Structure 1
Amino acid sequence: MTYKENAEKFIETYGLSIGDKIQVNKEDITYTGILLDRPEDADDGYLVLKLSSGYNIGVAIENTAAELIEKGEKPKIGFGKSEIPADPKKQNISIVSTGGTVSSVIDYRTGAVHPAFTASDLVKANPELLDYANYNVKALYNILSEDMKPEYWVKAAREIANDISNGSDGVVIAHGTDTMHYTAAALSFMLKTPVPIILTGAQRSSDRPSSDANINLIDSVVAAKSDIAEVCVCMHGSLNDKYTYLHKGTKVRKMHTSRRDTFRSINAQPIAKIENKKININPDYAYTKRGVNGLELNANIEEKVGFIKSFPGISSDYIEYHIDNGYKGLVVEGTGLGHVPNDLIDSFKRARDENIPVIMTSQCLYGRVNMNVYSTGRNIIDSGVISGVDMTPETTYVKLCWALGQSDSYNEVKEIMHEDIAGEFSEKSSIKDFLN
């Protein structure tokens, strides 16, 4: 019997409903609280109560009795509908939600976190937003960050292009943090934009006092109103709430599992620092200004691209598997300057002969791939492997997906991979980038 069946039978037996205040008796312990709903994938056989202390507890249904104390209402998602007046003096900003905690609202009675998918919900959860712009808020999809797919990048790019065509002065994308840097790179290659496109998220959900959701969202709106017409990521720049950084979409990476300042520019410096709702642009960064580019959308991609990490003992079977199973391109995350064992070189030659580009990146992240230094590297070059220069492995993967969407010719893909399309290459490596 599943948890849902257990719970439904238990609730029906005692005449209870979600939202009721109940007393649960289990052995010699009594709990009193509000009966909460549970997600479909919760552990079997448990009820969840919201105690008066504010904490939620799980109570096993086995050997448990319950009684109704007071009827209640099932918690409702959102704040309800209300019109948000537009101010003709303010810019129009689109906020597109793909999921993640940054666009969530809290039911403070139960502690439940729900997606805020209407303009009314979002503004009521973050009322300061009204000071900055008018908003068009929509839910594109509601997925966990790890469930992001290349096909969703395409859908997002098309939706953003449509919003810009309809007059948006800037776009903010609410996104889960784990794969945000992939999406930022994808949008950077797919779109040339006359307005800012800003991705943001939250490391801490909005039901926690340490949440970074509100500040990241508001600073992203500040960035979306700015003159920086590029795809960027806006996230906390420190552990406190003092400032956020604006990172280039092709040079950013999540670098810590839980810190609020997890996002860093790799082989680059942040484009700007946003502090006290003012944007201070890095004087060393030559950014694309608002209105310089016309809107261009090129969302053709190839999804069947492999991503392989080299490790001691890796065999050619990893390369051969991808060739045999019809992969159109491969990204290899090599060691150091871009090395893998010599055992893989014959497989690289086979990939080249079968028109499958292989791109070499480095696990080191900082610095540049240079396969000319050692003999192994030169053998790798001779086998047809293409350098990823100083791109992060994730940006390299996304770019190869996009490049293969433009051409199925090995030589043309090689040319695209070595062309600076969206600022993915740094002119030179700087010790300042590594130390900072």
Structure 2
Amino acid sequence: MEDKLKGYKGKSIDLLKKYKIEIWDIIQITTYKTQLEGIVMPRSEFSAPNFIEIKLENNYNVGINVSDIQNIKKIGKREANYKFPEREFPYNEALPMVQLLGTGGTVASRLDYTTGAVIPSFTPSELYSSVPELAEICNLDCEIVFEILSENMKFEYWQKLAEKVKQAVDSGINGVIIGHGTDTMSFTSAALAFMLKDLSIPVVLTGSQRSSDRPSSDAALNLINAATVATSDIAEVVVTMLGSPSHDYGLIHRGTAVRKMHSSVRETFRTIDDIPLGLVRDRKIKMFNNNYTKRNESETTIETNFEKKVALVYFYPAQRFLNYANSKFQLFTV
């Protein structure tokens, strides 16, 4: 039964068991305020425990807090097909080796049209099936470091990512791509930029603003652009995301100067108080700023120490929070 309720735990799994509901069941949920109908979706093991996730007929996913549910009725079932086409990622000794580190979010995936489920693609063969253009850019090694929502990113995860990049550099990898949720991508890029000293290869963070089950998804293009940048001569931590709503190019942002400006706009990432490092279009890079660190033979080191008791607090007139925070948490405020 546990496999049939993948990712559910706590009160949510108890409620589903009570009504004998499994993943891929079509259900009708009655809450105190409304009635919803959809397909029960699997969840990540890191997801909040008190929610049931369903895919509505309009193809959007919603999470319902179990405390709001009055009744669940099973209507039918749609099984998802997880089988990917068997296409081995071809090795080309003339191409550089790139490592893709997964942190959560969907870098590339395929849509099961029966259920509407977005099925992650992460092994090289799966990625080759989803984004075959990658095989023309690089050889690919993939590793899932962790699977979390990007808003749950914390210091310890940044430290682990820095260690993984260091291992990649030491093993002779030519470039690193980090698949990341977009909400806190700029925080991670800045943290890694400060932790990785004398970086000698490209480290490229990318993700997608639109899920792969949407016709307007930017996931595949962002991954192709990231692979292009990861094989370039840029030896810095950068973010590569869509640069226009027309899906025709991506922008290369320095990791310490980039910010997400909108929750859903596809070209939301901006370089702040400067211009982007460059542009990538059709697997070709045009640099706007030549003042960047180039690929080199330096020995990359890491500094992963963090002081956690630091907060950036915006002060307003008559605000007494600073004194409260300092006395309660002993924060160093700036």
> Alpha-carbon deviations, 1:63-105, whole Å to 9, x = none?
9575x7xx87x53656387643321111100111111233444
Aligned to 2:329: 325
CA contact (8 A) 1:212 1:260 kept: yes
Mapping 1:167-246, distance limit 5 Å: 167-191=172-196, 192-246=198-252
Distance 1:150 1:65 in 2: 42
**Partner AA of 1:201 in structure 2:** G
Report what 1:420 is aligned to: none
Give the Cα separation in 1 of the matches to 2:277 and 2:184: 20
Q: Deviations over 1:85-138 (max 9, x none)?
A: 321111100111111233444333211124333222222221221111100111
Who is 1:397 aligned against?
A: none
Q: Which amino acid counterpart does residue 174 of structure 1 have in structure 2?
A: G
CA distance in 2, matches of 1:235, 1:305: 30
| 299, 304, 326: which one aligns with 2:304 | 299
Structure with the higher helix share, 1 or 2: 1
CA distance in 2 between counterparts of 1:128 and 1:325 reads 51
Relative distance call for 1:78 and 1:145 in structure 2 (3 A) is farther
Match of 1:130 in 2: 135
Matched, 1:272 2:243: no
The 8 Å contact of residues 202 and 234 in structure 2, kept in 1 or not, is answered as yes
Separation of aligned partners in 2, 1:271 and 1:57: 38
With over 3 angstroms needed to count, the CA separation of the structure-2 counterparts of 1:23 and 1:182, relative to structure 1, is closer
Normalising by structure 1, we get a TM-score of 0.62
1:41-52 equivalences in 2 (<5 Å)? 41-43=50-52
Describe the SS at the equivalent of 1:102: coil
Structure 1: which amino acid aligns with 2:149?
L
Q: Which residue of the partner structure matches residue 150 of structure 2?
A: 145
% identity of equivalent residues:
38
Report the secondary structure of 1:240's partner residue: coil
- Which letter does structure 2 place at the counterpart of 1:322? N
The CA deviation string for residues 17-44 of structure 1, in whole angstroms up to 9 with x for no partner, is 6557x899x9xxxxxx99644545435x
Q: Deviations over 1:159-188 (max 9, x none)?
A: 011011111100011111111111111111
**Which amino acid in structure 1 is aligned with residue 139 of structure 2?**
N
SS at match of 2:285: strand
Cα separation, partners in 2 of 1:35 and 1:280, compared to 1, 3 Å: closer
Which of the numbers 288, 294, 310 marks the counterpart of 1:289? Answer: 294
From the superposition, tell whether residues 207 and 314 of structure 1 become closer, same or farther in structure 2 (CA, over 3 Å): same
Task: Answer 1 or 2: higher relative contact order, Cα 8 Å, separation at least 6.
Answer: 2
The farther-off stretch of 288-297 and 99-108 is: 99-108
Deviation at 1:153, TM superposition (A): 0.6
Q: Distance in 2 between matches of 1:168 and 1:216?
A: 21
Q: Aligned equivalents of 1:34 and 1:323: distance in 2?
A: 49
C-alpha distance in structure 1 between counterparts of 2:144 and 2:12, whole Å: 30
Task: Give the counterpart of 1:91 among 96, 100, 107.
Answer: 96
Matches within 5 A, 1:91-110: 91-110=96-115
Query: How does the TM-score come out when normalised to structure 2?
Result: 0.80
Amino acid at match of 2:80: P
Relative to structure 1, is the Cα distance of residues 111 and 49 closer, same or farther in structure 2, using a 3 angstrom cutoff? closer
Distance 2:74 2:252 in 1: 54
Tell me, what secondary structure is at the counterpart of 2:107?
helix
Bigger radius of gyration among the two: 1
Determine if the alignment matches structure 1 residue 251 to structure 2 residue 257: yes
- SS of match in other structure, 2:226: helix
Contact 1:78 1:114 in 2 (8 A): no
Q: Is 1:50–1:110's contact at 8 Å kept on the other side of the alignment?
A: no
Say whether residues 1:120 and 2:131 are aligned partners.
no
- 1:8 corresponds to which of 13, 17, 20: 17
The 1:292–1:266 alpha-carbon spacing in structure 2 relative to 1, beyond 3 Å, is farther
RMSD: 3.3
**1:273-422 map, 5 Å:** 273-282=279-288, 284-291=289-296, 293-315=298-320, 317-319=321-323, 321-322=325-326, 324-327=328-331, 329-331=332-334
What is the count of residue pairs matched by the alignment? Answer: 308
Contact 2:124 2:141 in 1 (8 A): yes
- What SS does the corresponding residue of 2:241 show, helix, strand or coil? strand
CA contact (8 A) 2:55 2:116 kept: no
